[in-house]
Chain A
Amino acid sequence: MAKQTTILFLLLLCVTISLRATVPHLSVYHEEVDLGDDGSARVTLRLTLPEGSDAVLSIPVRHRALTDLRPLGPDPLRLRSEERQGTLFLVVEIPRSPDGPRTIGLSYTVKDYFEPGGSAAAFGGRDLAYRFVNVNFEGIETFSAQLKLPRGWVFHDIGRFLPKPRKTGAAPPYKLARDGDRRTITLSLSRLGLGDEVALDCTFRSQGRSWAVALFLILVALAYLFFFRDILKNGRKPSGEGQ
């Protein structure tokens, strides 16, 4: 089901790409996703546009609703969310500015960024997915997206990620780090073309460990030391050994 949804989503994006006029180039695309314990997220976008550009961007999002849409900074952006054929789009109208390159910012809240209940398959972890498809710009010079986990959580496993490194041996495009007491993963890419997809599937879980397992293993170790102490007494050193 998830696969079918993804295919449908990508098909829709292809149609969107072919129908829309695109903005020539974007110097910087930076997205920060600040995840909450309840599955919500506050998303912040910062885009550095070339001189004199205006545009209407339609950014597809994989969520049911965007709330608290808010521009950041002095630019008079017009923001709204729009549903087209089952997919939600964040529409950003950017007025022309005669000044040089400028950075615009906006933020919004998503209530269903991830499923807050853990899955048994992921060892009580939560599945987290990030997607970005460039349907608006001819090229993006520098792309980065940072996902920040709630306090007390840590990344368990990084599953699929796109794009794959072109060269054998090259490091993957993501980096795990810490911002204060919160864990982050940052995807960094350069020169994204029109239609390029960035994806990351991962799981995260609570930092706590099972002390019951630790206690059990300690008991096993102690039992071994007691019941197998005859190892030290048994056996004689045969000639020719141990030299």
Chain B
Amino acid sequence: MSKAVDSAAENGTAQELDDLLDLSKHKLSTIPERQPTATERWMKYLGFPLGIFVFLLLNHMPTPDGLTTSGQAVLACFAMALVWWICEPVPTYVTSLILMIALVLSGGWDQDHVLGVLGIDVIWLNVMAFVLSSILVKTNLARRIALNLIIRFGSSAGSALFAFIVLQLCLAPLIPATAARTVMTLPIMLVVAAIYGSTSGKANNFGRNLFLQNLLGINIFSSGFMTGSTANLIAISLILSLSGEKVYYTDWMFASLPVVIITMLIAWFIGPRLLIPLKKSEKKPHIAGGIDALRRQLDKMGRVSFTEKKAALIFGLVIFLWVTDRFHVGWFGFQIDAVMAAMIGAVITFLPKIGIIKWNEADIPWHLMLFSAGAYAGGLALDSSGAARWAIGNLFGYFEITKGTSFWLVYVIVIAVNMYSHMVFTSKTMRTIIMMPIVIAVAQQFEFPVLALALPAAFTIDWVIALPINAKPNVILFSTGQYSVLDNIKYGLVVATIGIVVLTLAGMTWFRFLGITP
């Protein structure tokens, strides 16, 4: 009798575990319902009129010197959208659509440009990446990898979170495309979150920590390597062309990598303890039978199936193309960039007989594409209207830096402005192109060593962590519904501030030892 009860309980647990790990029940294309907290309800209520107030204030004030009225309109529209994205009185994708309408009607940006944003490479990369991610889910390869990861490292929340830090650190120098790294690891994150009881419909603090920590890792580990993102390379080329200072791969890595590793470890330590504290029940897997049940589940999956191998092969091909992009011209005579590589993978995925999924099985969150398109439209309009350059130039002017100002005060201002400026940009490249020449000009005008200000400023480029609109990984991870915009701001701003402190301390010690700062 007891054996029968145990067996029934075990069967029940297995069924529950199956349900939990079945990612087809937590589709990204289905927007999860989430009950707002009391603070979030107030933000929703007041956010709408606040957004309108901010819009009217910026749009109807006399046009500041140096700004066009279209730039002023873009600033007003973007500020309103920023308030609404944060407070969420309407869904984020609706805010994006309103922003696009407002940009056109206020004369901020023309309709062709606004609508054209849906066709930019980032949106295509997102769509293709979600198709590829779907094959990992469909074939259960994501579940297998996640179960292996949890069985080896995930007996407690701390070690599971640490395992993801190591994973993202290993991937960063290999795959410069942050969206690619996100999509590769997203299904694994979803399974691990589910094992710890956090799903899109019912997220808990483990899920919040896991996804926000990965958002942090994916973005800031790019800062550890000169080739970690295209924006880093643009920064280096700007430093070279505008100041004649050459920076080598190892210069960058030796200086920046320790900073990001230290910050990441601090975030790993304080995240689950102070920022988004884990309850006792969230520190262990939410599976009756614990790790043993997961081990049994993995055994039940049996050997790696043919479709799993096929999925691994397709994904492997895409990753291979991503990793080897610098050799393409030599091998093929042409360059296959990240979007085209993902598109090749997606095409193979859909091919009859060879492929793995049909169109209906691809889990593409289109609401996310509209959200991204609006965010990018706002960001690009800020750039094209000159409003971003005007705002940043004025911000530096506000600090009244002179030749007599202490180098370290200027250093902290430069690092802080660069770090926090990511909140109003939607593209790292654009931010680099606007910020770096200003930083270099500040250094040259006030006779500070250019590299001492420009290189640490360049190290902050990839710290795009405070809002879902700031970077591709943020948009993708936000689509999981595992955390709110407010969670993202809280986590991102605290870590960004820690980053400023670590970079300042590094500037006074480690960078000085390396000969970067005076």
What is A's interface to B at a CB cutoff of 8 Å? 122-123, 125, 154-158, 167-172, 175-178, 205, 207, 209, 211, 214, 217-218, 220-222, 224-225, 228-229, 231-232, 234-238, 240-243
Contact = CB atoms under 8 A, between A and B. Distances in A.
B53 A221 contact: yes
Interface stretch (B6-14, B176-184, B233-241, B260-268): B233-241
Contact of A243 (B48, B205, B238, B433): B205
Given A155-B68, A156-B69, A242 B38 contact: yes
B352 interface: no
Contacts of A220: 52
B437 A169 contact: yes
Contacts of B509: none
- For chain B, the bracket of interface size reads 35 or more
A146 B150 CA distance: 67
Contacts of A171: 389, 437
Contacts of A218: 52, 56
A224 B386 CA distance: 33
Interface string B14-55: 000000000000000000000111111110110011001101
A237 B38 contact: yes
20 contacts: A155-B68, A158-B386, A168-B238, A168-B241, A177-B66, A205-B69, A207-B62, A214-B56, A220-B52, A222-B49, A228-B89, A229-B45, A232-B41, A232-B45, A235-B36, A240-B203, A240-B282, A242-B38, A243-B205, A243-B277
Contacts of B45: 225, 228-229, 231-232
By CB atoms of chain A within 10 A, which of B69, B205, B237, B436 has the most? B69
B68 A235 contact: no
A231 B69 contact: no
A154 B276 contact: no
8 interchain residue pairs of minimum CB distance: A242-B37, A221-B49, A123-B107, A157-B70, A169-B437, A221-B52, A156-B69, A240-B204
B307 to A, nearest CB: 36
Interface string B222-255: 0000000000001001100110000000000000
A228 B42 CA distance: 11
Given A209-B59, A242-B37, A242-B38, A156 B65 contact: no
B271 to A, nearest CB: 12
Contacts of B70: 156-157
B63 interface: yes
Nearest to A225: B49
Contacts of A170: 242, 437
B44 A231 contact: yes
B187 to A, nearest CB: 23
Contact of B65 (A123, A178, A228, A231): A178
Interface in B436-451: 436-437
Interface of A is mostly: mixed
Contacts of B326: none
A175 B68 CA distance: 11
B200 interface: no
Nearest to A185: B68
A167 B65 contact: no
B436 A235 contact: no
A176 B35 contact: no
A175 B66 CA distance: 7
A154 B237 contact: no
A231 B276 CA distance: 25
B68 A176 contact: yes
A242 to B, nearest CB: 3
B60 interface: yes
B386 A172 contact: yes
A217 B48 contact: no
Contacts of A123: 107
A237 B41 CA distance: 10
A39 B424 CA distance: 39
B240 to A, nearest CB: 11
Given A169-B242, A207-B62, A217-B55, 14 more contacts: A154-B68, A155-B69, A158-B68, A168-B234, A168-B238, A168-B241, A169-B432, A170-B437, A209-B59, A217-B56, A224-B49, A235-B36, A242-B38, A242-B39
Contact of B48 (A157, A175, A211, A228): A228
B413 interface: no
Contacts of B433: 168-169
Nearest to B68: A155
Contacts of A175: 66
B279 interface: yes
A236 B40 CA distance: 12
B482 interface: no
By CB atoms of chain A within 10 A, which of B39, B66, B432 has the most? B66
B204 to A, nearest CB: 5
Interface in B292-331: none
Nearest to A121: B110
Contacts of A221: 48-49, 52-53
B261 to A, nearest CB: 28
Given A157-B68, A172-B386, A177-B65, A209 B205 contact: no
Given A155-B68, A217-B52, A169 B436 contact: yes
B385 interface: yes
A2 to B, nearest CB: 17
Nearest to B53: A221
B174 interface: no
Contacts of A158: 68, 386
B501 interface: no
B498 interface: no
By CB atoms of chain B within 10 A, which of A177, A178, A240 has the most? A240
Contacts of A205: 69
A206 B469 CA distance: 34
Given A154-B63, A168-B234, A172-B386, A224 B48 contact: yes
Nearest to B198: A240
B67 interface: yes
Contacts of B437: 169-171
A220 B53 CA distance: 11
Contact of A236 (B35, B65, B234, B241): B35
Nearest to B197: A240
Contacts of A157: 68-70, 107, 385
Given A156-B69, A178-B65, A235 B35 contact: yes
Contacts of A235: 35-36, 41
A243 B49 contact: no
A172 B386 CA distance: 9
Nearest to B435: A169
A64 to B, nearest CB: 29
